[in-house]
Structure 1
Amino acid sequence: MSNASGARGVTVRIFLIDGTPQGLRTVDRTGWTGTCLTFARPGYAEARQRPEVKRTGVYVLVGRDENDTPRLYVGEGDEVRVRLDNHHREKDFWSQGYVLTTKDDSLNKAHVRWLEARLLQIAMEAGTATLDNGTAPQLPYLSEPDQADMEWYLENALTLLPMVGAPYFEILESSSATSETAVAVAAPEGSTYFLKTVLTEATGRDDPRGFTVIEGAYGRKEKKVMSRGYEAQRDRLIADGILVDHGTEQVRLTRTHIFDSPSSAASVLSGGSKNGRDEWKDAYGRTLKQNQERATEGAAP
């Protein structure tokens, strides 16, 4: 049964292998032969004994670089464990690992090479993390039936990864171009809100992952008094080229970006600490706070 937005519900199963949420986990969904093993780096000794890493599959390693920016590496292997052993010795940046394979070991070398290339395409377009891969391989040939099967596999895998801490393959819809080369996992549609002052003009949406501000937003270039956390976020966006100078008094958001809260979005753009629940307003002039309170009272937003 689908909901009002047309999206269908799915059943996802997360199995805590050692009974703790911080330990090894497998994630799968009903009607899909695939599975995802996720583990923190300190748990790799246990993870490498699992049957999932002894199969043909693709994997994602995630960590942070020296600027505290998300960094990831995508790879594949006939026996994933061989590649992971090497990365455990030689790659320092990663702190979390994800292995995508199948319960029946039905993926072959051509499948995983194709999946690796597709994941890298998507990660590059999403632009939410720095890639540790030196090169992005060309999409290899697959027969039409195999390609259709792998697209279905990928669609399921990309539904699961954000649930276990890897949202780096989600391509947000923006006001400009849309992708024709990658699987786009669009941000959930929510109410649209606006932030408008003398030097700030932005459009955003509140969704379960954070507060999404649409590409092309303008903010104040001059910084006022703001918290250290908001200032660090702003500096990081500038360093990554996501927030760039626009004239002498403004900055501009070069791509759609998810902030961790409405307040961080409003503060970064305005250059000073702001309460985002009061600053973001819908087309009727109602604040985000007012709409949230109306929703909890059972009123239509």
Structure 2
Amino acid sequence: MCLKEGDECILNGRTIQIFLPFGSPRGIKIAEITNRTVQAIYIPRNQLEDAKERSEVTNVGVYFLFGQGEDDALPRVYIGEAENCFERLKQHNREKDFWETAIVFVTNNNQNQFTKTDAKFLERLSFEKAQEVNRYILNQTVPASSFVPEWRQADLYDIFETIKILLSTLGYRLFDEMRNTKITDDPQIQKNEIFYCKGKGLKAIGEYGEEGFVIYKGSQMSKNTSNSIHNYLITTREALKNDKIVEEDGEAFIFIKDYPFNSPSQAAAIILGRNANGWIEWKNIDGYTLDQLKRKGV
């Protein structure tokens, strides 16, 4: 199937082709931007043995292992490189427990394969970019750097942009910034995109977007919870503390990084420590609710 990515201008559009070699949409997938030489092979861990039938995964490449524990507030990723990616994945299958999915990146041009140096450069670059965005827990030490000539670095930075797009298309927004909006003095942005949730002695700020509700760094979370709060919200609050997404700060906890929630109501309930309707609790600077602005068009 083909997906169109980008809607600002037809010149910014990209056609992404996804091939299902075994016919299952939940199984192994091979994704590529049709005019690029990089391809992604998506491999569920329980289908690793099937992947050996694909010669692509035995090439030099960079790979990503994704997973999330029950008690983790953030998903985890391991970024690696290998001369034979399939053999390395078999090793990780024996030695690493956390991961559920592997995505391998190789070139689809037999005459222009990655070198070992290319793969090491992409591994280090991917690690640094993932660290900057801070969406995932990096389940590893810092990869070693490698010397790459300036002309080849330009090529590899372009390849990295392809990797970024394909990962996001496959559902892993490892390199995508959480915020679509920056806090600004622009009154229209203030009124339409930035929302506030307030409780006793605390305030949180965030935005509503395509992946739910993002609470901004510096927002406060109540230390207390009501007796009627749902158990899954208590579990989530504990995970935020354990993973140091929030830290104790006087009479409240404070978010030390941006953090996304599935819905406005989940975000509000976490902040307030009680069950909450986020469509009403989140308000803009003029006091209009998220419901009024985003669903009723006030």
TM-score tier, shorter chain, comes to 0.7 to 0.9
Which residue in 2 is equivalent to 1:93?
98
Name which of 150, 162, 165 aligns with 1:159.
165
**1:170 Cα shift?**
2.9
Counterpart Cα distance in 2 of 1:157 and 1:40: 18
Which residue in 2 is equivalent to 1:298?
none
Alignment of 1:63-212 (within 5 A): 63-65=67-69, 67-68=71-72, 69-105=74-110, 106-133=113-140, 135-172=141-178, 191-212=193-214
Counterpart Cα distance in 1 of 2:10 and 2:291: 27
Counterpart Cα distance in 2 of 1:261 and 1:7: 33
Name which of 25, 38, 44 aligns with 1:40.
44
Could you state the TM-score of these two structures normalised by the residue count of structure 2?
A: 0.86
SS across alignment from 2:14:
coil
Counterpart Cα distance in 2 of 1:18 and 1:290: 46
Residues 1:238 and 2:241 aligned together: yes
Query: Residues 221 and 5 of structure 1: is their aligned pair in 2 closer, same or farther, counting only changes over 3 Å?
Result: farther
- Alignment check: 8 A CA contact 1:199 1:218 kept: no
Counterpart Cα distance in 2 of 1:255 and 1:81: 35
Alignment of 1:210-225 (within 5 A): 210-224=212-226, 225=228
Counterpart Cα distance in 1 of 2:296 and 2:151: 49
Query: Residues 136 and 214 of structure 1: is their aligned pair in 2 closer, same or farther, counting only changes over 3 Å?
Result: same
**1:48 Cα shift?**
2.0
Q: What per-residue deviation string (whole Å, max 9, x for no partner) do you get for residues 11-47 of structure 1?
A: 2222222222111111111322111010111111111
Query: Residues 3 and 26 of structure 1: is their aligned pair in 2 closer, same or farther, counting only changes over 3 Å?
Result: closer
- Alignment check: 8 A CA contact 2:120 2:144 kept: no
- Alignment check: 8 A CA contact 2:246 2:253 kept: yes
**1:124 Cα shift?**
2.5
Name which of 11, 32, 39 aligns with 2:15.
11
Counterpart Cα distance in 2 of 1:6 and 1:253: 39
- Alignment check: 8 A CA contact 2:247 2:254 kept: yes
**1:10 Cα shift?**
2.2
Counterpart Cα distance in 2 of 1:33 and 1:102: 5
Which residue in 2 is equivalent to 1:258?
260
Counterpart Cα distance in 2 of 1:64 and 1:2: 29
Q: What per-residue deviation string (whole Å, max 9, x for no partner) do you get for residues 114-144 of structure 1?
A: 01111112223333333332x2124322111
Number of residue equivalences? 281
Task: Provide the aligned C-alpha RMSD in A.
Answer: 2.5
Name which of 212, 219, 226 aligns with 2:229.
226
Query: Residues 66 and 198 of structure 1: is their aligned pair in 2 closer, same or farther, counting only changes over 3 Å?
Result: closer
Consecutive unaligned residues of structure 1, counting only runs of 5 or more, are 177-189, 296-300
- Alignment check: 8 A CA contact 1:74 1:116 kept: yes
**1:7 Cα shift?**
9.5
Counterpart Cα distance in 2 of 1:244 and 1:132: 21
Consecutive unaligned residues of structure 2, counting only runs of 5 or more, are 184-191
What amino acid maps onto 1:237 in structure 2? L
Which residue in 2 is equivalent to 1:268?
270
Q: What per-residue deviation string (whole Å, max 9, x for no partner) do you get for residues 235-264 of structure 1?
A: 1011111111111x2111101111111111
Could you state the TM-score of these two structures normalised by the residue count of structure 1?
A: 0.85
Q: Percent identity?
A: 30
Q: What per-residue deviation string (whole Å, max 9, x for no partner) do you get for residues 203-227 of structure 1?
A: 2111112211111011211112311
Alignment of 1:21-36 (within 5 A): 21-36=25-40
What amino acid maps onto 2:95 in structure 1? E
Counterpart Cα distance in 1 of 2:246 and 2:296: 34
